[in-house]
């Protein structure tokens, strides 16, 4: 059994949020490691947008019940090298993941000039 979530984000939406709310936006959505990684790039916005899409895709794949809320900072896309990233889920959001019987995950993100997208797959049996 699997659960899939996907999301697409306009990079300009993230740029606008960053310009309007600055560090407050970053601290509410991203881990310190994610912010550090994204800011190593000439334009951090597509990288932030990809991670934002990933967090939204995770929330969709979790298929939360009414009243259950996932904290975006508890959803982290780890890995600093080009290529495959690892999804790391912490805290209450990890509890939701485990309670639903998920054992593993796979994630794919992409970003271009105007859009960033992510797909997340949760597995109930290890592949």
The total of structural domains in the chain comes to 1
pLDDT above 60 (res 127):
no
Is residue 31 a contact partner of residue 38, using CB atoms and an 8 Å limit?
Answer: no
pTM passes above 0.85: yes
Q: pLDDT band at 80, cuts 50/70/90?
A: low
Is 7 annotated to bind ligand?
A: yes
**Mutual orientation of helices 11-29 and 45-62 as an angle, nearest 10°?**
70
Domain carrying residue 99 = 2-123
Residue 36 CA: distances (Å) to CA of 44, 53, 66: 10, 18, 34
What average pLDDT does range 59-71 have in this prediction? 93
Is 56 annotated to bind ligand?
A: yes
Q: pLDDT band at 125, cuts 50/70/90?
A: confident
pLDDT per position as a tens digit, 17-45: 999 999 999 999 999 999 999 999 999 99
CATH number of the domain where residue 86 is located: 3.90.470.20
pLDDT per position as a tens digit, 89-124: 999 999 999 999 999 999 999 999 999 999 999 999
Residues 69 and 45: their CA atoms lie apart, in Å, by 25
Q: pLDDT band at 82, cuts 50/70/90?
A: low
């Amino acid at each position: 059994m699997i659960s899939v979530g996907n999301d697409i984000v306009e990079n300009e939406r993230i740029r606008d949020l960053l310009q309007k709310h600055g560090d407050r936006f970053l601290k509410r959505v991203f881990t310190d490691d994610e912010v550090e990684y994204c800011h190593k790039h000439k334009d951090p916005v597509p990288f932030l947008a990809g991670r934002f899409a990933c967090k939204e895709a995770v929330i969709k794949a979790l298929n939360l019940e009414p009243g259950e809320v996932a904290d975006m900072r508890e959803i982290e896309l780890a890995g600093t090298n080009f290529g495959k990233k690892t999804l790391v889920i912490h805290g209450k959001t990890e509890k939701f993941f485990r309670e639903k019987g998920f054992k593993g995950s796979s994630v794919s993100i992409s970003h271009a000039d105007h859009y960033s997208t992510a797909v997340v797959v949760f597995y109930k049996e290890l592949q």
